[in-house]
Amino acid sequence: MDRPSSDRRELLKVSGAALAAACLAPSVRAATSVSAGAAFGKRKTQRVVVVAFAGGVRTRETLGTPDNVPNLRALAAEGVVYPRARTSNLGHYGAALSMFTGVAEQKGIRENVRGEDPTLFEILRKDGGLAAGDVWLATSGGAQQVNYSYGTHREYGARYGASTLDGDGIFNRRFQDLLRSFGKSAEASESEARVLARLRGSLDRRDAERQATADAVERYVRDELARGTADLTGANASDAKALRCARNILALLKPRLVAVVLQDADTAHGSFGGYVEVIRRNDAMLGELVAAVKADPDLADSTAILVCPEFGRDKDLNSRRGLDHGDGSDDLVYVSCVAWGPDFRRGAVVSEDVRVIDVAPTVCDLFGVKARSAAGKKLPGLLV
């Protein structure tokens, strides 16, 4: 065997162990947490993907025009559809944030300020015992959307935030810290440190070489998460990158929660055609994510997916033949939420009114955690 390929083999072995460390720690912690451990055993759902199909997307162009969204339609056929999910905020930022807090955020919330209510990421990490490596947020909109990862609540906040990736593959500070913790036990938790110690013990090398290996693991993880994102172009380039990152995180790390926030559909203000194009392309990327779940035996029977826009759009075209959001019509106020997963009913339509803010408490409930701060409720008629 020549040297490069044996190095590569070793790297893959090491990466596997480092990733095992990342994935093992949560289960160790979950076992010590009564709230997360208790209810979890009864359900097949081990992980959840939340897609905030945001940017303002009407049902008319999604489930109302099935040819636009073959993949969303397939999820709906195998899952539960809520065609009357009511939105409560008509600014993009606050409305999408509401999905993650379960609270109708103030309409006037400034677009670069974190919310005051804890997000489902913080709730699941603090009250559900999930680790940073378990809870991920992939965003399309750069710095502003990273604010969704945690709020300013005194009992929650940054230390319980989601690990975030933005769609351009520029990894944020938290993620860099997390990566470093894979290779350096001083920054890792006790259980991670134990696994890393075993990993290091198995490598008969000098310190400098060990550090080189840790660096290679970091590079490998980073490359894998960014895989294929740079060449994504087109009307939905930012959204496509976020969805690709989410798929790669799922496939590589198999975390407990991955959320994705999209935004490119808001091109609708100036172009109805461009907006439809974004929806169609995002549906194709959603299909890629679903295919990755279904093809992986570790994910296929244990992963739930929820897809929901933050709000719809106006009933009528504006003077530029685009669609704004502000007319108070049912097209704007009601969106369709789709839920698919091993514990959910199949082919069901729940026609009663629900709310977009029900997403956060529903996801928390799937992990056996009560979202005490949320005003929303568990989605009705969801479970088998």
**By the criterion CB under 5 A, which residues form the site for Zn ion?**
266
- Smallest gap from Cβ 55 to Zn ion, in A, equals 7
Crossing angle of the two packed helices 3-32 and 173-183, in degrees rounded to 10? 110
- Smallest gap from Cβ 353 to Zn ion, in A, equals 24
- Smallest gap from Cβ 333 to Zn ion, in A, equals 15
Closer CB to Zn ion, 251 or 278, in the complex? 278
- Smallest gap from Cβ 92 to Zn ion, in A, equals 6
Closer CB to Zn ion, 227 or 269, in the complex? 269
Closer CB to Zn ion, 156 or 334, in the complex? 334
H-only helix segments in 185-334: 190-201, 207-226, 237-253, 272-295, 330-333
Q: Which position's Cβ is nearest Zn ion?
A: 266
Closer CB to Zn ion, 222 or 269, in the complex? 269
Closer CB to Zn ion, 247 or 325, in the complex? 325
State the amino acid at position 208 in one-letter form. A
Closer CB to Zn ion, 45 or 88, in the complex? 88
Buried b (16+ CB within 10 A) or exposed e, 192-202: bbbbbeebbee
Write the DSSP string, 147-161: GGG----TTSSGGGP
- Smallest gap from Cβ 119 to Zn ion, in A, equals 22
State the amino acid at position 14 in one-letter form. V
CB atoms within 10 A of CB 158: 12
Cβ–Cβ < 8 Å for 233, 197:
no
Closer CB to Zn ion, 136 or 334, in the complex? 334
For 64, phi and psi rounded to 5 degrees? -75, -15
- Closest among 215, 244, 36 to 128, alpha carbons compared: 36
Note the residue count of the chain.
Answer: 384
- Smallest gap from Cβ 222 to Zn ion, in A, equals 33
- Smallest gap from Cβ 88 to Zn ion, in A, equals 16
d(CA 382, CA 341): 10
d(CA 240, CA 332): 24
- Smallest gap from Cβ 56 to Zn ion, in A, equals 5
Closer CB to Zn ion, 35 or 144, in the complex? 144
CB atoms within 10 A of CB 219: 13
Per the listing, tokens 């025009």 go with 65
